[in-house]
């Protein structure tokens, strides 16, 4: 089995920083991995954790074969390793009762999660004696009290305790948290790398080009837009096509109604399906005025997807998109 860190691709800066730290034995106790979703931050975090808990590391890499190495690999839908010294924090990852709460965490990573998962263990040595690694997904969602609760541990962690904060919006973190971490930037993936990664997953060449066009350098976006290849958004896409082509308002209302029904994630997937369709039409009619029209519509859909990622409500984003599409 290959070490996780060896499978990180397209991030030369992060690779260099982590490999050097592991080779020199100077791993910082708190990193902030800064970059868009789906570019390898999480793989790098688990890779670093694996190197730290490995029984027979071949610096800078983990051996990939020992029991801790195997248990460091994230599994299941929640992508959590079964190694007890590698702990993942994320909003809503745990049942309220598991972290001593009554209500689910809807907005923030609560101080309860930090107390239960971090502070309760911070004073103890690692279960297996090597290292304790806390990985915080979407670290910008730490509530102020959660961030403050982390501060002291971040400042003077016990020997062998490490933190990796993952964030696409590092500036939303408390300055006091940021200043205690070493920032490592993760760039967007190149189209060539996405092409390779998708072909490794068996995605057909015809699909790859379209997926890459809408994925903005993120494997997560690429996979999401593949997922909606599955039936389900077909009627939504057809409806959207009719809505932009038709003079009557009826179809637009159908689309708006559907957007209202979807949650944010569903709305993003549905719009990715529409974006793909518009991109196809633009390509099919290349060098005609129609192609430009579809390309403009494609851009509008992309902007709407960005608005949803930025927390826009599906209903409002849908309404504004439709009125703009009808004006193109
Ligand atoms: Zn190992």
| Span 240-260, average pLDDT | 77
Report pLDDT digits (tens) over 26-70. 999 999 999 999 999 999 999 999 999 999 998 889 999 999 999
Residue 15 CA to ligand 1 center (angstroms) comes to: 19
Residue 45 CA to ligand 1 center (angstroms) comes to: 16
Indicate if the pLDDT at residue 231 is higher than 60. Answer: no
Residue 29 CA to ligand 1 center (angstroms) comes to: 20
Same domain, 26 and 127: yes
pLDDT, residue 226, reads 79
Residue 276 lies in a domain: yes
In whole angstroms, what is the distance from residue 76 CA to residue 194 CA?
23
Query: Which residues in 144-295 belong to E strands, given as ranges?
Result: 161-167, 182-185
Residue 219 lies in a domain: no
Residue 222 lies in a domain: no
Report pLDDT digits (tens) over 106-132. 999 999 999 999 998 877 888 887 999
Report pLDDT digits (tens) over 290-316. 888 888 888 999 899 888 888 888 888
Q: Which helix H or strand E contains 86, and what residues bound it?
A: strand 86-89
Residue 210 CA to ligand 1 center (angstroms) comes to: 39
- For residues 122 and 197, the model is more confident at 197
Same domain, 43 and 170: yes
In whole angstroms, what is the distance from residue 16 CA to residue 243 CA?
50
Same domain, 131 and 248: no
pLDDT, residue 290, reads 83
Residue 1 CA to ligand 1 center (angstroms) comes to: 10
pLDDT, residue 238, reads 78
In whole angstroms, what is the distance from residue 83 CA to residue 257 CA?
45
Residue 162 lies in a domain: yes
Contact 9, 195 (CB under 8 A): no
Residue 66 CA to ligand 1 center (angstroms) comes to: 4
Same domain, 237 and 125: no
Same domain, 69 and 167: yes
Top-confidence range, 1-10, 63-72, 265-274: 63-72
Residue 16 lies in a domain: yes
Residue 53 CA to ligand 1 center (angstroms) comes to: 7
Residue 202 lies in a domain: no
Residue 59 CA to ligand 1 center (angstroms) comes to: 11
Residue 317's alpha-carbon distances to 27, 257, 298, 302, in angstroms, are: 44, 12, 15, 11
pLDDT, mean over the chain:
89
- For residues 147 and 288, the model is more confident at 147
Q: What is the CATH number of the domain that holds 42?
A: 3.40.50.300
Same domain, 36 and 144: yes
Residue 46 CA to ligand 1 center (angstroms) comes to: 13
Residue 215 lies in a domain: no
Residue 57 CA to ligand 1 center (angstroms) comes to: 6
Residue 251 CA to ligand 1 center (angstroms) comes to: 57
- For residues 224 and 235, the model is more confident at 224
pLDDT, residue 184, reads 98
Residue 39 CA to ligand 1 center (angstroms) comes to: 25
pLDDT, residue 232, reads 59
Residue 99 CA to ligand 1 center (angstroms) comes to: 30
Q: Which domain holds residue 272?
A: 228-327
Q: What is the pTM of this model?
A: 0.70
Question: Which of 154, 170, 185 is the C-terminal boundary of a domain?
Answer: 185
Same domain, 28 and 152: yes
Same domain, 256 and 144: no
Indicate if the pLDDT at residue 246 is higher than 80. Answer: no
Residue 60 CA to ligand 1 center (angstroms) comes to: 11
Contact 228, 302 (CB under 8 A): no
Q: How many CA atoms lie within 13 A of 268 on its CB side?
A: 20
Residue 235 CA to ligand 1 center (angstroms) comes to: 49
Domain count, the chain: 2
Same domain, 18 and 88: yes
Dihedral sign of CA atoms 119, 125, 128, 130 in order:
positive
Residue 48 lies in a domain: yes
Residue 218 CA to ligand 1 center (angstroms) comes to: 29
Indicate if the pLDDT at residue 222 is higher than 80. Answer: yes
Q: How many Å is the maximal CA-CA distance in the chain?
A: 69
Q: How many Cβ atoms sit within 10 Å of the Cβ of residue 248?
A: 9
Contact 177, 25 (CB under 8 A): no
Indicate if the pLDDT at residue 1 is higher than 80. Answer: no
Please give the backbone phi and psi of residue 163, each rounded to the nearest 5 degrees, phi first: -125, 140
């Amino acid at each position: 089995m290959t070490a996780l860190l060896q499978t990180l691709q397209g991030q030369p800066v992060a690779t260099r920083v982590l490999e050097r730290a592991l080779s020199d034995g100077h791993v910082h106790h708190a990193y902030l991995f800064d970059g868009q979703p789906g570019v390898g931050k999480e793989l790098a975090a688990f890779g670093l954790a694996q190197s730290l808990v490995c029984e027979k590391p071949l610096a800078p890499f983990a051996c990939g074969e020992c029991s801790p190495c195997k248990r460091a690999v994230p599994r299941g839908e929640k992508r959590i390793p079964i190694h007890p010294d590698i702990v993942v924090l994320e909003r809503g990852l745990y049942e309220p009762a598991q972290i001593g709460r009554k209500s689910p965490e809807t907005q923030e990573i609560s101080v309860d999660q930090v107390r239960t998962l971090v502070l309760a263990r911070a004073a103890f040595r690692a279960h297996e004696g090597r290292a304790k690694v806390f990985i915080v997904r979407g670290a910008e969602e730490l509530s102020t009290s959660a961030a403050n609760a982390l501060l002291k541990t971040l400042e003077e962690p016990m020997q062998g305790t490490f933190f990796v904060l993952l964030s696409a919006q590092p500036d939303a973190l408390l300055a006091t948290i940021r200043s205690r971490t070493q920032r490592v930037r993760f760039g967007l993936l190149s189209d060539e790398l996405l092409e390779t990664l998708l072909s490794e997953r068996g995605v057909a060449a015809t699909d790859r080009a379209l997926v890459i066009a809408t994925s903005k350098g993120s494997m997560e976006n690429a996979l999401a837009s593949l997922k909606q290849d599955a039936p389900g958004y077909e009627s939504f896409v057809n409806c959207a096509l009719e809505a932009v082509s038709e003079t009557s308002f009826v179809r637009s209302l159908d689309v708006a109604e559907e957007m209202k029904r979807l949650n944010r994630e569903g709305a993003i997937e549905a719009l990715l399906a529409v974006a793909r369709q518009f991109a196809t039409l633009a390509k099919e009619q290349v060098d005609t005025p129609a192609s430009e029209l579809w390309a403009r519509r494609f851009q509008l859909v992309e902007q709407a997807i960005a608005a949803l990622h930025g927390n826009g409500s599906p209903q409002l984003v849908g309404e504004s998109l439709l009125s703009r599409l009808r004006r193109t």
